[in-house]
Amino acid sequence: MFKLSFYFVRSKKLSHKKFKNLSVKIIDGLGAQMEIKQKCACYKIFFAIPYLKLSKYDGIFEVWFESIASLNEVKNNVEFNSHIQNNNEVFNTSKCSYIVSEEYPAIFENEIGSSPERIKFTTLLIKNSDMNFDEFKNHHKEHHIPLFSSTPIVQKNIKKYVVSHKIEEGNCAKNYNGIVEFWFNNIFSMLVVFMNHEYLSKVRPDEKKFLNLKKCDFIISKEYAG
């Protein structure tokens, strides 16, 4: 599956609540366009949790496609782009980013449950400068994913684990190389994983081998459900 991911920064004039209401109207307007409805498989909206904000991004708009051709047709559609680029009152367009990526089938997907606190933790990846993109991608897929997903604390607390790697350059101030997404039932479950001794002693050292952790961006969000 191919994914077009927009990462939004709100206008300084707007509160988080106002930004959320206005951006949903804009994005739902995009999703209602016949050309987009015909070409995309689905789309989702997520909003950063204000009291857990770890980066400049306030929201995420993700659209999935069965083919890269369909994705490019929509991405290059003038009306599609104008919905976002011409809404400076809502978005700080100079700071927004997008990534075109290939999303692999979920590494694992457990029953997420019905917790109203359910959250998604997104990491926007920047590779270690000592690696080229193919080396980064290979290490991530062949070594790090099996290491991380086999860790008991991960299996117990992460409900869904999805990885994507970029397939073209986006309009990012930073050249993101991939996306990792984790779903948790609540904040406590997330902290349990990332503060766990086994994760810190075995998984974190491997992250440093292929990632520039200081340049990666992190977003803790909730899916907009209407």
Q: pTM (2 decimals)?
A: 0.91
Section 150-169 average pLDDT: 90
Right CATH for 2-223 from 1.20.140.10, 3.40.50.720, 3.30.465.10, 3.30.70.100: 3.30.70.100
Report how far Cα 101 is from the mean position of its chain's Cα atoms: 10
Report domain extents, the chain. Answer: 2-223
Question: What pLDDT is stored for residue 34 in this prediction?
Answer: 55
pLDDT of 216:
95
Q: 6, 27, 10: which is closest to 18 by C-alpha?
A: 10
β-pair type (160-168, 217-223):
unpaired
At 135, is the pLDDT very low, low, confident or very high (cuts 50, 70, 90)?
very high
Task: State the angle between helix axes of 16-32 and 78-85 in degrees (0 to 180), rounded to the nearest 10.
Answer: 170
Amino acid 86: pLDDT: 75
76 φ, ψ to 5°?
A: -90, 0
Q: pLDDT band for position 132 (50/70/90)?
A: very high
Determine which of 8-17, 173-182, 198-207 has the lowest per-residue pLDDT on average. Answer: 173-182
**pLDDT at residue 16 greater than cutoff 60:** yes
- Residue-wise pLDDT tens digits, 161-180: 999 999 865 555 468 999 99
The 10s digit of each residue's pLDDT in 50-68 is: 999 889 999 999 999 999 8
Reported as a pLDDT band with limits 50, 70 and 90, residue 112 is low
Tokens 């206008």, residue?
11
Identify the pLDDT of residue 113.
55
Can you tell me the distance from the alpha carbon of 100 to that of 210, in angstroms, rounded to the nearest whole number?
Answer: 21
Other C-beta atoms within 10 Å of 212: how many?
A: 17
Q: What is the pLDDT of residue 60?
A: 95
Q: Between 40 and 130, whose confidence is greater?
A: 130
The mean per-residue pLDDT over the stretch 68-84 comes to: 79
Q: Which is more confidently placed, 57 or 108?
A: 57
**Averaged pLDDT of the chain:** 88
